[in-house]
Structure 1
Amino acid sequence: MAFSAGMVNVISVIIFFAFTSNVTGHYAVLAEEIAKGNWYQAGVVASWILLFFFGGFIANIIIINFNKTHTYLAHSIPIILEIICLLIVGSYIQFYYKESLVETEILVGLMLFAMGIQNGLTASISNSAVKTTHLTGLTTDLGMLFSMFTKKEYRAKKELRAKAKVQLAIMFSYLLGGVSAGLIYLNIAYNVFYIVSLFLIIVIAYDFYRLRVAKYVSANQPFLRIHYYGRNKKRKNKSGELQKV
């Protein structure tokens, strides 16, 4: 997910000269436009922020309503919505885009909505421990973790080391996704949106595999436990001899 977010952000910078995987910079632009009295521009940026917000809202409301009963649907529906948004943007750019300001504003908003969905999904299913569309908080957390690792008692804690590994994996995946998007764009231009969608489909397929295997193991656990102990456990019978049970 971080890899795909890195791709999307670099694509949007190359094509639209705008960041779409986070809204930190957009808040600064919003404040600037309000201060200058540019109300149209302020309205556009405010709508971008609201679309990112609404993406997170949609993802989380799906999770809290379906995660307990239909876990796979709860995970896959937000990603499918994200794929649809990216395919709309990619197809429109490829066949209809005339590089007008209104078109750019709408397409950037749609990409921000898609990234809001992804960020809301990953944050929701990880209890806000993981966010994949931006690295501000993650870089801060890594700085704090590495400062803790200067002391032996913190280096000995497995949970802190595991957390650092996850965050480093997200950081490098995001960076690798951005580099890949730049290289792919130089060769196949706007088709890069389809490549991003392909990576998200792989995420859905992997999630399906993991959930299906976990469900199978859970459903067959009593049988597996009985089968295991039946083959290995022994006890004495009435005559005092050991026998398998």
Structure 2
Amino acid sequence: MLRNSTTNRTFRENQMLASSTAFVSGYINVAGMLGLLVFTSNVTGHVASLANHIVRQHFHEIMVFMIWLLMFFFGAFTSNFIIRSFEHKSYYTAHSTPVILEIFILLFVAIYGNHFFAGSDTEREYIIGALLFANGLQNNMVSTVSGGLVKTSHLTGLFTDLGGEVAEWLHPKSLKAKITKEKILIRTTILGCYITGGIVGGIFFDIYGFAIFYFVPLILLTILYYDLSPLALHKLARLFGRPGKTNNFKQ
């Protein structure tokens, strides 16, 4: 899912990346809403809230929402900066480093929320900022890796693209029906997994509270392992004198 460049990816790789990360985004978003009363995987609502607080001159809220927007921005900035810094050495390293950073942030949220969170507004604001940063990391990573095809937390854009692509697919003058069909499958996969993640996150948050954030890093570790396992098998084969076929790892 992470080992290939943007121009050397298969439909299956994009679909697997879309399904796993969309599930994570939906899961975090609903869990954040239930635990912190704020959506944490997108910024559209935060921009509207910021405008409302500016009109009403709620200066503390203006500062908070501006910081939250910047946290998502800096997450995306950090992710892209890391990818561009390492992609000349290894695509896997470049693409996996933002995921590893996201894992550490989510583990922090799980530990703090489960053991120390007292429910104060200041605590909520910091945790929301951390989750927005994590989602900025993930959203930029999947967008960069997939060449802009996959964006797991931007559902407004997803419905816009999906509507246009369905029209293109059904139009009698369409010349790229196969490519368009694959894009539609990717979009519907994102939507379905996002909703599923939200449902699962909501159900389990009611039962386990912030402890459910321990589960998300397991999904992200699975994404990392998916690409590591062929390389590990290849190295074992070489160690025991059975050279295997590599899987296009750029070292």
- What is the TM-score of this pair, normalised by structure 2? 0.82
Shift of 1:90: 1.3
Shift of 1:68: 2.5
Does the C-alpha gap of structure 1 residues 217 and 195 become closer, same or farther in structure 2, counting only changes over 3 Å?
closer
Q: Which has the higher contact order (CA 8 A, sep 6+)?
A: 2
101, 104, 128: which one aligns with 1:84 = 104
216, 224, 233: which one aligns with 2:246 = 216
Distance 1:210 1:90 in 2: 31
After the TM superposition, which parts of structure 1 deviate over 4 Å for at least 4 consecutive aligned residues?
210-215
- CA root-mean-square deviation: 2.0
> Partner residue of 1:8?
28
Would the aligned equivalents of 1:118 and 1:133 in 2 still touch at CA under 8 Å? Answer: no
Distance 1:83 1:182 in 2: 20
181, 187, 200: which one aligns with 1:180 = 200
Distance 1:173 1:64 in 2: 28
Q: Deviations over 1:40-82 (max 9, x none)?
A: 1100000000000000000001111111312211111101111
Distance 2:141 2:115 in 1: 30
- Percent of aligned pairs with the same residue? 37
221, 230, 233: which one aligns with 1:201 = 221
Matched, 1:113 2:133: yes
Residue 117 of structure 1 aligns with an amino acid whose one-letter code is L
Alignment: residue pair count: 219
- Structure 2 unpaired stretches of 5+: 1-20, 235-243
Does the C-alpha gap of structure 1 residues 141 and 202 become closer, same or farther in structure 2, counting only changes over 3 Å?
same
Task: Give the SS at the match of 1:166.
Answer: helix
33, 36, 40: which one aligns with 2:53 = 33
- Structure 1 unpaired stretches of 5+: 220-245
- What is the TM-score of this pair, normalised by structure 1? 0.84
Matched, 1:72 2:92: yes
Residue 89 of structure 1 aligns with an amino acid whose one-letter code is V
Shift of 1:210: 6.0
> Partner residue of 1:49?
69
Q: Deviations over 1:19-49 (max 9, x none)?
A: 1101011111111111111111100000000
Distance 1:90 1:146 in 2: 40
146, 149, 162: which one aligns with 2:169 = 149
Distance 1:38 1:217 in 2: 55
Residues 98-107 or 184-193, more deviating: 184-193
Would the aligned equivalents of 2:113 and 2:211 in 1 still touch at CA under 8 Å? Answer: no
73, 77, 81: which one aligns with 1:61 = 81
Shift of 1:127: 2.1
Distance 1:117 1:126 in 2: 14
Would the aligned equivalents of 2:231 and 2:247 in 1 still touch at CA under 8 Å? Answer: no
Residue 71 of structure 1 aligns with an amino acid whose one-letter code is Y
Task: Give the SS at the match of 1:200.
Answer: helix
Shift of 1:156: 6.4
146, 169, 176: which one aligns with 1:126 = 146
Does the C-alpha gap of structure 1 residues 87 and 217 become closer, same or farther in structure 2, counting only changes over 3 Å?
closer
Residues 44-53 or 199-208, more deviating: 199-208
Does the C-alpha gap of structure 1 residues 153 and 90 become closer, same or farther in structure 2, counting only changes over 3 Å?
same
Would the aligned equivalents of 1:66 and 1:73 in 2 still touch at CA under 8 Å? Answer: yes
